[in-house]
């Protein structure tokens, strides 16, 4: 029997809050320019360039992709910021999932509402591929929202019992 390895990348859609953060960063750079020009005229250009570079780096951190990696019954979810920096957000065994169902499944809302904490690692737009699962994680009941494609759901279904996996029809 061979190893099972599936991976998928989902790009998060920019939200209104992300756009407001970007506008705020640009406004902050303009304010830094005017304030530095009024008080430190000789260093105004240097300070403005430094502030602009800092704003550019921070804006890049708002470009997020999530990578789902399923390996032999274990699921890892990483966040990739601006395609340069990676951070592990979740790692756990699929066998420990209490339930996995479509995020809008009315039959399991009560189960998902019992979670202590909710983490959203999806694109931000609810589709037919948007699922949630409930699992114990670091002493809490954690609800994680993610968007596995059909291939990933099929791989997860080989490990998760049919009584715990509810596919959207």
CA–CA separation, 158 and 4 (whole Å) = 10
Mean pLDDT, the chain, whole residue set: 88
Specify whether the backbone of 66 is left (phi greater than 0), alpha (psi in -120 to 50) or beta.
Answer: beta
- pLDDT tens across 52-74, in order? 999 999 998 899 999 999 998 89
CA–CA separation, 116 and 93 (whole Å) = 19
The length of the chain is 169
- pLDDT tens across 72-118, in order? 889 999 999 998 899 999 999 998 888 888 888 888 888 888 888 99
Residue 1: pLDDT band (50, 70, 90) is very low
Burial level of 143, CB count in 10 A (0-12/13-18/19+)?
Answer: buried
Residue 128 CB neighbours (<10 A): 12
Tokens of 102: 């479509």
């Amino acid at each position: 029997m061979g190893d099972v390895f599936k991976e998928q990348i989902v790009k998060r859609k920019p939200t209104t809050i992300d756009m407001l953060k970007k506008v705020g960063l640009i406004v902050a750079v303009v304010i830094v320019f005017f304030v530095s020009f009024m008080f430190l005229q000789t260093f105004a250009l240097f300070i403005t360039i430094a502030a602009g570079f800092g704003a550019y780096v921070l804006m890049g951190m708002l470009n997020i992709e999530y990578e789902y990696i399923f390996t032999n019954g274990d699921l890892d979810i990483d966040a990739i910021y601006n395609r340069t920096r990676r951070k592990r957000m979740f790692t756990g065994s699929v066998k420990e999932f209490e339930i996995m169902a479509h995020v809008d499944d009315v039959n399991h809302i009560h189960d998902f509402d019992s979670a202590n904490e909710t983490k959203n690692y999806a694109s931000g737009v609810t589709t037919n591929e948007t699922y949630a699962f409930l699992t114990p994680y670091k002493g809490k009941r954690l609800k994680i929202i993610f968007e596995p494609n059909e291939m990933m759901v099929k791989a997860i279904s080989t490990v998760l019992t049919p009584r715990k996996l509810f596919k959207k029809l």
